[in-house]
Chain A
Amino acid sequence: MTHILLRHRDIPDMDKLNVYKKNGGFAAFKNAVTKMKPNEVTDVVKNSGLRGRGGAGFPTGMKWSFIDNKNWPHYVVANADESEPGTFKDREIMENNPFQFLEGLAIASYAVGANVAYIYLRGEFWQVAAWLDEKIAEMEEAGYLGDNLFGKDYSLKIYTHLGAGAYICGEETALLESLEGKRGQPRVRPPFPPSYGLYGKPTIINNVETFTNVPMILANGADWYKSMGTADSAGVKIFSLSGRVRKPGNYELPFGATFRQLIYEHGMGIQDGRPIKAIMPAGASSSLIVVDEKVLDTPIDYAAVRTLGADLGSASVIVLDDTVNMDWVINKTIHFFKHESCGKCTTCREGNHWMRNLTDRIHHGKGSSEDVKLLLNVAKQMQGKCLCALGEFSTMAVVTGIERFPEDFKKAVKA
């Protein structure tokens, strides 16, 4: 298959400006700025059916059309926080196909009338940020960033900004707080960023992968993009495949590919040929899907995964085989969320504290069946009562682990 996002896998040296240019690079941006009105760009993206790749799957063109044109200036922010356990796709894009991402960011900025865009990277992406700074400088040199671009009355600057190790800063309003120089704690919404974002100004935030789709959509048209994928979810998606597979890695597939194709054809199956026990399609935030033949043959898109009792999220597919016990899995996920809870609301802060104590007890063989019941109860009590989705995420593996794999917990408290 030829790639649309991971094009560096087909074309060597895509990270070099002249190679990117030779392969059609920046033509879409130039065409947009010189021949299209901003709202026409937004309309193409809207018609393409592109949905945000950061997790929630919100229609991208629609988000752009919400930008408040009565309040200026506008900002665009790229979410490069990529911290969900199991997710490593944005990093591959930025390291190997950086210009396509940057061009998408530039096109989005033009579409919503932003003259400044920020890329918020997790602090661990120190080297990636330095690399992007080089690429941004090359674009400035070549006249793709700066003042009066392509002789038109449009100017754009792009800056990188490093976070410093906080998963919550991937949540868009926490990200904005962090970018403003504060602790990364989510804001109460509404208002949403397209009306009240960075510095209180209208702001569009999208995931790195979302932006990377945009130049190809503009170059080839909305219908071309829509012709791939499913009716529910247009286009292609990068799946980060990890866990007990033979060949973990990123795989770009059209929506509608099945878990069987992803895990067995691309991931080369399970280590030591063992059976699969469960799939977490959305990283540590995921519900646990019990795997059977029907699940493996499900064509993956946002709606279909929901019918399996989970969300697709950012499609970070963690594969668990029959040697893995769920009391261990949720012990890992709760330690993660306990560590990452920002502490702003009591439910999430205290809930994760209690869940951590209970799961430690259960996992280390010191728990009782009452502890398991209590843990399930705490997780369910938390649901619907947290200020942001992190609190909700922290309960997903717990609830589905205990309810869908009761045997594992019976064993754990007996042992």
Chain B
Amino acid sequence: MSLEKKYSKEVKQILAKYPPEHKRSAVMPLLYLAQREEGYVNKVAMKDIARILDITETDVASIVGFYTLYHDKKAGKYRMQVCADLPCALRGADEFLDNLCGNLGIKVGETTEDGVVTVEAVMCLAACDRAPMFQTQGPDGIKYHEYMTVDRTMELIEALKGGKE
């Protein structure tokens, strides 16, 4: 089903935010919509968005390529994006990330065998006073998890496996 059909209400709401002659502005919110179910934007969705906005597929693909929160490949159902930037690293983020990966038996960038979690290292998330912290990017959007320990993260991962965040 095309994006406009599947999410007709959402698409209309998004387009209403911008002047009709500048509807290209809707490309970013539409990409989030397209990414919602699979966790990445596939070629068909890019084509849909290009058609809705009267731009080329190449335009859409170049947006996907530029911004780090859009993905064109499948990964785990949840991306666990651990902040390892300078202020968090001063508060133990690198050790946290190492220990977490050790516990999961994967390396940064890899996905757990059951396909539920991909662990990534990312730049500052504006939560530097609450390190160690990470965000999860998944079917219900992006959520912050702050003041984390490896134990609490493992509990969270168990909950995610059970389909609850």
Interfacial residues, chain A to chain B (CB-CB below 8 A): 82-88, 90-91, 122-127, 130, 159, 161-167, 178-184, 199, 240-244, 248-250, 284, 316, 318, 320, 324, 329, 332-333, 336, 339-340, 342
Contact = CB atoms under 8 A, between A and B. Distances in A.
B142 A329 contact: no
Interface in B61-117: 62-63, 66-70, 85-87, 89-91
B129 interface: yes
22 contacts: A85-B124, A86-B124, A87-B124, A162-B32, A165-B67, A166-B66, A166-B68, A167-B123, A180-B24, A180-B25, A183-B66, A184-B66, A240-B128, A242-B87, A243-B87, A248-B129, A250-B129, A284-B86, A332-B89, A333-B86, A339-B123, A340-B123
B6 interface: no
B11 interface: no
A225 B127 CA distance: 29
A83 B126 contact: yes
A87 B126 contact: yes
Contacts of A179: 25
Contacts, number: 131
B28 interface: yes
Given A85-B87, A244-B91, A332-B85, 8 more contacts: A88-B128, A124-B142, A127-B142, A159-B17, A164-B69, A166-B67, A248-B129, A284-B85
A126 B141 contact: yes
A240 B129 CA distance: 8
Most B CB within 10 A of own CB, among A124, A167, A199, A339:
A124
B86 A124 contact: no
Nearest to B23: A181
B88 to A, nearest CB: 8
Given A240-B129, A332-B86, A161 B29 contact: yes
Nearest to B122: A165
Nearest to B28: A164
B134 to A, nearest CB: 11
A164 B144 contact: no
A127 B68 CA distance: 18
B157 interface: no
Contacts of B87: 85-86, 242-243, 318
A122 B126 CA distance: 10
B150 interface: no
Contacts of A86: 86-87, 124, 128
Contacts of B29: 161-162
Nearest to B94: A332
B45 interface: no
Most B CB within 10 A of own CB, among A83, A123, A240:
A123
Contacts of B142: 123-124, 126-127
B interface residue count range (under 10 / 10 to 19 / 20 to 34 / 35 or more): 35 or more
Contacts of B144: 124, 127
Nearest to A183: B66
Contacts of A91: 126-127
A161 B90 contact: no
A161 B28 contact: yes
Contacts of A127: 141-144
Nearest to A249: B129
Contacts of B3: none
Contacts of B53: 181
Contacts of A324: 90
Contact of B90 (A88, A183, A184, A318): A318
Given A127-B143, A336-B85, A181 B129 contact: no
A163 B67 contact: yes
Contact of B28 (A124, A162, A240, A339): A162
Contacts of B89: 332
Contacts of A126: 141-143
A70 B119 CA distance: 52
Given A248-B129, A320-B90, A333-B86, A181 B63 contact: yes
B70 A164 contact: yes
Contacts of B91: 242-244, 248
Contacts of A342: 66
Nearest to B83: A85
B129 A241 contact: yes
A164 B31 contact: yes
A199 B19 contact: yes
A82 B123 CA distance: 12
Nearest to A168: B66
Contacts of B19: 199
Contacts of B135: 124
B146 to A, nearest CB: 11
Contact of B126 (A88, A165, A320): A88
Most B CB within 10 A of own CB, among A165, A243, A336:
A165
B147 to A, nearest CB: 11
A260 to B, nearest CB: 20
Contacts of B46: none
B9 interface: no
Contacts of B62: 183
A346 B123 CA distance: 23
Nearest to B35: A164
